[in-house]
């Protein structure tokens, strides 16, 4: 086989992976800010759209209202203070919102069922264009970050809300290796700041926040509070 062809193919895969990563990271930061934390004007516009606006309203309910507002109220690493608190939230979700998927998704911590498709749907048009315009090898490379994108919420996000010792005890051996990486320790700090200050640090696949001017570094006090909660940091 021609070595030049191999080099070219490998280069195309790498270039496609970089393009795919930039796409999902920028989209994650933008959508997290503007959909999951949608402003009142945006939510009102979504209400006027009827069924077309429901995915945004549901995403806002699950993330901003439930995950940020009704859970982890006292601690970044403790979702509920009591069983009674969790049961009250379950009743509120079922009786007033009628959306049991929020419960199956562990109150915005993970993804389940159609939630996985809804999570990736906004970026799929970009990858449809890449399928038409990129060489096959580059498109294959671009698909790798697309696969990692929902996995960051499905697999990694739950461990970011646990004390390190508990995370290591619960995790499989490959996940324990992942938790110990510098990247996950960085993302753990990054995500904590998002919950503390909200309007920053939207990424689990980091970079988009930096490019969009939404990245915030921890202060000494922030770091002390993370260590006090036994976080992965």
Name the pLDDT band for 232 (thresholds 50, 70, 90). confident
Query: What average pLDDT does the segment 120-145 reach?
Result: 96
* Number of domains within the chain: 1
* One-character DSSP codes across 181-204: SHHHHHHHHHHHHHHHHSSS---S
Distance between CA atoms of residues 82 and 95, nearest Å: 20
Domain that holds residue 103: 3-228
- Do residues 214 and 202 lie in contact, with contact meaning Cβ atoms separated by under 8 Å? yes
Beta-bridged to residue 75, according to DSSP, are 78
Mean pLDDT of all residues in 30-37: 98
Residue 44 belongs to some domain of the structure: yes
Euclidean distance between CA atoms 203 and 215, whole angstroms = 9
Counting other chains too, the contacts that 115-123 makes at CB distance below 8 Å and 24 or more residues apart are 116/150, 116/154, 118/55, 118/58, 118/59, 119/149, 119/150, 119/153, 120/146, 120/149, 120/150, 121/55, 122/27, 122/31, 122/35, 123/23, 123/24, 123/27, 123/149
Question: Is 90 exceeded by the pLDDT of residue 7?
Answer: no
* 105 within domain boundaries: yes
Distance CA 133, CA 197 (A): 40
Residue 214, domain member (yes or no)? yes
**Strand, coil or helix: what is 233?**
coil
Statement: residue 5 has pLDDT above 70:
no
| Run of H or E residues at 9 | helix 3-31
Using the structure block, give the residue that is written with the tokens 């070219």: 8
Q: What pLDDT does residue 3 have?
A: 47
Q: What's the mean pLDDT in 59-63?
A: 97
- 118 within some domain: yes
- Read off the pLDDT of residues 140-159 as tens digits, 9 standing for 90 and up: 999 999 999 999 999 999 99
Q: 78 in a domain, yes or no?
A: yes
Tokens 């499989």 — which residue?
172
- Mapping DSSP to helix (H, G, I), strand (E, B) and coil, where does residue 165 land? helix
* C-alpha gyration radius of the chain: 19
pLDDT band at 233 (very low <50, low <70, confident <90, very high): confident
Residue 233 lies in a domain: no
Q: What is the mean pLDDT of residues 66-93?
A: 97
pLDDT tops 80 at residue 13: yes
* Whether the predicted pLDDT of 6 surpasses 70: no
CA 9 – CA 135 distance, rounded (Å):
9
Q: pLDDT tens digits, residue range 159-185?
A: 999 999 999 999 999 999 999 999 999
CB 113 within 8 Å of CB 123: no
Determine phi and psi for 226, rounding to 5 degrees. -60, -45
Average pLDDT score over the chain = 94
CB count in 10 Å sphere of residue 170: 13
């Amino acid at each position: 086989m021609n070595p030049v062809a191999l080099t070219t193919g490998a280069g195309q895969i790498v270039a496609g992976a970089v393009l795919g990563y930039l796409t999902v990271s920028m989209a994650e930061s933008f959508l997290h800010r503007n959909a999951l934390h949608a402003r009142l004007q945006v939510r009102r516009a979504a209400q006027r759209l009827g069924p077309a606006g429901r995915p945004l309203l549901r995403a806002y309910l699950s993330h901003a209202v439930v995950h940020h507002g009704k859970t982890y109220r006292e601690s970044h690493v403790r979702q509920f203070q009591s069983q009674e608190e969790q049961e009250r939230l379950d009743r509120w979700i079922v009786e007033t919102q009628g959306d049991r998927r929020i419960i199956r998704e562990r109150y915005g911590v993970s993804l389940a069922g159609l939630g996985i498709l809804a999570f990736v749907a906004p970026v799929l048009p970009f990858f449809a264009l890449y399928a038409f315009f990129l060489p096959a090898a580059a498109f294959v490379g671009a698909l790798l970050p697309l696969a990692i994108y929902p996995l960051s919420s499905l697999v990694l996000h739950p461990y970011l809300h646990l004390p390190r010792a508990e995370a290591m005890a619960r995790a499989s051996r490959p996940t324990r290796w992942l938790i110990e990486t510098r990247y996950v320790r960085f993302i753990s700090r990054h995500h904590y700041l998002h919950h503390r200050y909200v309007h920053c640090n939207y990424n689990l696949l980091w970079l988009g926040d930096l490019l969009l001017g939404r990245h915030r570094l921890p202060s000494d006090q922030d770091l002390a509070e993370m260590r006090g909660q036994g976080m992965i940091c």
